[in-house]
Amino acid sequence: MHQSASLSPRILIVGGGTAGWMCAAAISRRFASANLQITLVESEQIGTVGVGEATIPHLRYFNERLGFREPEFLQATSATYKLGIEFINWGQVGEAYIHPFGVFGKKFRDVGFHHLWARYRQDQPQDSLFDYSVSVLAAAQGKFAYPSSNPADLLAEYSYAFHIDASRYATFYAVTQRFGA
Catalytic choice (82, 106, 107, 143) = 82
Strand partners, 126: none
Q: Which helix (H) or strand (E) holds 89?
A: none
- For the question of residue 106 being annotated catalytic, the response is no
136 contacts 130 by C-beta, under 8 angstroms? yes
The residues, ordered by sequence, that sit 6+ positions from 108 with a Cβ below 8 Å of its Cβ are: 116
Strands laid side by side in the 52-54 sheet: 52-54, 161-165, 80-82
Which amino acids are annotated catalytic?
A: 82
